[in-house]
Structures are given as C-alpha cells and as structure tokens.
Amino acid sequence: MSAKKLFIQTLGCAMNVRDSEHMIAELTQKENYSLTQDIKEADLILINTCSVREKPVHKLFSEVGGFEKVKKKDAKIGVCGCTASHLGNEIFRRAPYVDFVLGARNISKITQAINTPKFISVDIDYDESEFAFADFRNSIYKSYINISIGCDKHCTYCIVPHTRGDEISIPFDIIYNEATKAVQKGAKEIFLLGQNVNNYGKRFRNDHKKMDFSDLLEELSTIESLERIRFTSPHPLHMDDKFLEVFAKNPKVCKSMHMPLQSGSTEILKAMKRGYTKEWYLNRALKLRELCPNVSISTDIIVAFPGESEKDFEDTMDVLEKIRFEQMFSFKYSKRPLTKAATMPNQIDPEVASQRLSILQNRHNEILDEIVEKQNNKEFEVLFEELRPNHSVAGRTDNNFLVQIEHSEELLGQIKKVKITNAKRMVLYGELV
C-alpha cells in the first residue's frame, strides 16, 4: 500500500516545532504517512497553532480557509496546538470543514484523531509526560527535547497556562534516553524545551529521581559525543547562583541565555505577576555577565502593558541600557482571552504603545550595531547545520550568533573555527580558519 501524504504547517515557538515532530513521528511510523511540501497532494493537512499573541489566531482561520480551497476532495484538515486548546468546538463552528481539533496537551492522540469523525480533545489536564512518542527530527544535527510540559506561573498577560495546563516535569530517564538516542543518530546539539526550564524537577507524575535543572544539565553533559546543550526558556525567578555557575562553567552548555524581562518596572512586573523585581533581574543578568563574559543575553519585552506610565517605560529603557541585550523580541501588549490583564483598567492608547515600541526598538538597533561591529575579526567555533543559496552554509556560534560562509554541504554537522570578515545585524559572514 502506497504511503499517504501529510502536509504540516507549524506556527509559534520551539515547543510547537517539537510537538509537530512528535505528530509526524506517530503518523509516519504508525499510519503509513510520508511528508509532502505540496498541499495539493496531501491526504492529511495539519496546522499546529500558536495563541500567545493575537495575530496567530487570525492567521489560523485565514490559513484553514485557504487549505479548504486547494485541498484534494477527500483530504482531512486537523487543527492542533494552543489555539485548538482554547477555542475547542468554536473551530468547528467557524470552520465546519475542519475534521478534528487536538489541543496542545493532547498530541499523543493524533492517530485516534485522524480515525474518528469530528474528533476533539482539548483537555489541558491530560498528562503526556511519560508517553513514549515515536522518533522523528527535522534536523540530523540538532535535537529538540521536551523536559517539561505546562506552566504554573499564570502571568496576567499570558494564555499558555490555559492552553498547556499545569507544569509537570518529564522523568530524567526519558530525557536522557532520548538525548542519547539522538546523539547516536548524529545529533551534535540538544535543545531542551519547557515553559520554565529552570523550574525542572518541581513536580513529576510519579515517583522519580529528584533533581533540579542544574543537575539535569550536568547529567546530560556526560553523554559522549554530545557537543552542545541549549535550552529555552528559563525564568528569571529561578536563576539561583547554582544555575548561573553551572551555566558558566560547564563547557557543553552553550553561552547563550534567554532572560525574558517583559518589563523593567517593578510595579508593572508585579501587575504582570512575574515574581521578581527590576533589581533582581539586573542582579542576575549582571552576575551572568561577570561569570561568563562571552555570554549573549536575549530577552522578551512587552511595552504598553495596562497602567504602564512614562516612568515605567523609562525603567524598561534603563534595563536595556544596563544589559545591552544581544537579541530582543519586543511587542506591544495585546489582549488575550482568559487572562486577567485583558480586563485591567488603564489600557494604553495604541498610538502611545506604537511610539514606545518604536523608541525601544530603535535604541536596541543602535546597541545591536555596536555589538555587531565588535564581532569583526573575531574567531568562533560554529556548528554548521543549514545549506544556503549561492554555495553557502550557515550555523551558530556557541553564544548563538548566526554565521554564514561560502562552502559546500560537506561541512554540515561539523564544528569548525571561523573568522568573521563582515559582520551584519542578522548574519556574521566569515571564512574558515
């Protein structure tokens, strides 16, 4: 019997990428599907959704409408992920041609979903922490590995706890075995995923070996032939000295830290229910710079959160000046359903929000240009993992700069020393040393 064709579109974060890999693995190995990039030949079309911001939700209905117009007569359409979790049956109402809806915490049911008419499963309390997924990865050289699911933080702007449920850690043995298997198949780097990775070990489904995230990093670094460990996203609240020291001293842990700030104002952080102050954040980030001078720090910032004054915004700008982030993801606050911030008073005028975002981004671009200029003539170890046009290959430095050189695909999967000859904002160009 010839394989059926699967087309999958993934929106949102790295956790969604890994969820898509899990669904691909289940479908290719248990249901005789093979991947296609041509939606017109697909027998099954999946869209794995994000609901962190407003635009991806609008994108969902516009995308599935487009799918319906071009798909084969008997092809099925499935909506999966975070938007599926919070919209549920409304998806069937707004897009009746959708065949099934599968929430972010229910992806292990994908084979059941495709074989059950109008299947829906969006239970955010469903526990997949010990489910043995089949194996599939988009990259030979890098392996995404979930270490926890869900989130307990309930930040007042964030919908994730309502779409992925309470936080639960995946047992160490499952993580270690998955990492070992990936390395045996050629992975040089593992990328640990969780909503708050450095809160790892606080809750397991059953009795398991107790360890915190720092211990997990140390244990995984003992895997032979594993070259690099990355992770996202840690929470500033859980950045204790032990964690920062393991990060700085363990040679396999990549020197790139994502530290979501969200706001530089202690008052706004309190309203966001982030659990830390401006002073705590600065203390942790500056200590990290001290322990690990070559670290790159990235962040997330929301401007114009309800009630944000000019002084609050100045506090955010002050943190930007003091930390000088190598990368910044910044957004205007947008109301999300099921969140407390959506009904808060003192919502900020959209024009003010746009102006503040522009000020923040313009200043960060100036800082970034100064940072980038300093990379010229530096030498970096680069793991090459991407073939690019014009006979080029690209990869990442230990501290997460993207580097591109002219070379052939034989470099893929190798770590080589590169000297930077032309540093640009998005890409550092160089040559092999």
CA–CA distance, 7 with 58 (Å, rounded to integer): 20
Asked whether 92 and 101 are in contact (CB, 8 A), the reply is yes
| Amino acid at position 251, single letter | P
Q: State the Cα–Cα distance between residues 281 and 396, nearest whole angstrom.
A: 27
Q: Going along 58-165, which residue ranges are E strands?
A: 76-81, 100-103, 119-121, 142-146, 148-149
Is the Cβ–Cβ distance between 76 and 33 less than 8 Å? no
254 known ligand binder: no
d(CA 279, CA 285): 10
Quick one: which of 389, 402, 395 has its CA closest to 141? Answer: 395
Do 271 and 307 form a contact (C-beta atoms < 8 A)? yes
- The residues pairing with 299 across neighbouring beta strands, listed in sequence order, are 328
**Cβ atoms within 10 A of the Cβ of 389, count?**
5
Look at residue 118 and give its three-state secondary structure. coil
CB atoms within 10 A of CB 147: 23
Q: Give the largest Cα separation in the chain, rounded.
A: 66
3-class DSSP state for residue 158?
coil
Residue 232 near residue 257, CB atoms below 8 Å: no
In the numeric block, the tokens 């059950």 are attached to: 116
Helix (H, G, I), strand (E, B) or coil at 335: coil
Angle at 389 between CA 388 and CA 391, to 5 degrees: 90
3-state helix, strand, coil in the chain (%, to 5): 40, 25, 40
232 three-state secondary structure: strand
What is the distance between the terminal CA atoms of the chain, rounded to a whole angstrom? 51
Number of neighbours of residue 67 by Cβ within 10 angstroms:
21
What lies within 8 Å, CB to CB, of 152 at 6+ separation is 161, 166, 167, 196, 199
80 annotated among ligand-binding-site residues = no
Burial of 31 (0-12, 13-18, 19+ CB in 10 A): middle
Binding-site residue ranges for [4Fe-4S] cluster? 13, 50, 82, 151, 155, 158
Binding-site residue ranges? 13, 50, 82, 151, 155, 158
